[in-house]
Amino acid sequence: MTGVSESTLSRLESGQRKATLELLLPPARTYGVPLGNLVGAPRTGDPRIHPKPIHRFGMVLIPLSRPPGGTHAFKMIIPARPEPAAPDPRTHEGSEWLYVLTGRLRLLLGERDLTPAAGEAAEFDTSLPHWLGSADGGPVELLVLFGPQGTRAHLRTPPGRRAACGEDRGRPGGGVRDAAHARRGPPGFPTLIT
């Protein structure tokens, strides 16, 4: 799976073989582990993240966690617009969680049209067609958690192209997790946490 033989990995682990970048990079990539973790490197002392804003689909995404792999946290900013954006629901594998910081979000999810306000959260299966925008044309700021599939669909799909992950495969919705104090729709629809 990593391209490095079991015997070589065993010798690395036991100290019988010296580690080289050539031997360490494949497992680091495969398992989504920073190279420093594999070699036991000391922390640099600066835990701050220096995000670079990403502009996609008329929104700004600011990374709040470091790659590689796993769940990624972003602050999403939907700027104010004189005319509301035309919805363009998309699908991909995985799930999303969001928390509205300011403004009123418009969340289209399958057949549902929801408007979570500041302080509300939602979690949903992204095999349902979904779209995020402003409910009233004003700015919206939210925290979003994407799994690896969501990160790929939202950040690496060039603007103007539809996300390919799971699209038009006719998968039924579902997989919404229960939460305390939730307003729930029929099975397969989002959980809106208040």
- Band (pLDDT 50/70/90 cuts) for residue 67 is low
Most confident of the following: 39-48, 84-93, 108-117? 108-117
**CB neighbours of residue 175 within 10 Å:** 15
Phi, then psi, of 169 in degrees rounded to 5: -95, -5
Please indicate, yes or no, whether the overall pTM of this predicted structure exceeds 0.75: no
pLDDT at 43: 62
Mean pLDDT taken over the chain: 75
Q: Under a CB-based contact definition with an 8 Å cutoff, are residues 145 and 96 in contact?
A: yes
Between 109 and 159, whose confidence is greater?
Answer: 109
pLDDT at 22: 83
Q: In this model, does residue 92 exceed pLDDT 90?
A: no
- Band (pLDDT 50/70/90 cuts) for residue 87 is very high
pLDDT at 159: 47
What own/partner pairs with CB < 8 Å and gap ≥ 24 does 8-16 have? Answer: none
pLDDT at 10: 84
C-alpha 107/C-alpha 186 separation (Å) is 16
- Band (pLDDT 50/70/90 cuts) for residue 138 is very high
**Which domains occur in the chain, in start order?**
6-39 (no CATH), 54-193 (2.60.120.10)
In a 3-state reduction of DSSP, which class is residue 54?
strand
C-alpha 170/C-alpha 127 separation (Å) is 9
Between 183 and 124, whose confidence is greater?
Answer: 124
Query: What distance lies between CA 35 and its chain's CA centroid?
Result: 22
- Band (pLDDT 50/70/90 cuts) for residue 26 is confident
**H helices present in the chain, as ranges:** 6-14, 21-31, 35-39, 148-155
pLDDT tens digits, one per residue of 139-193: 999 999 987 665 555 555 444 444 433 333 333 333 333 333 334 443 444 445 4
Task: Count helices and strands (H / E) in the chain.
Answer: 4, 11
DSSP letters along 158-179, please? PTTS---TTTTS------PPP-
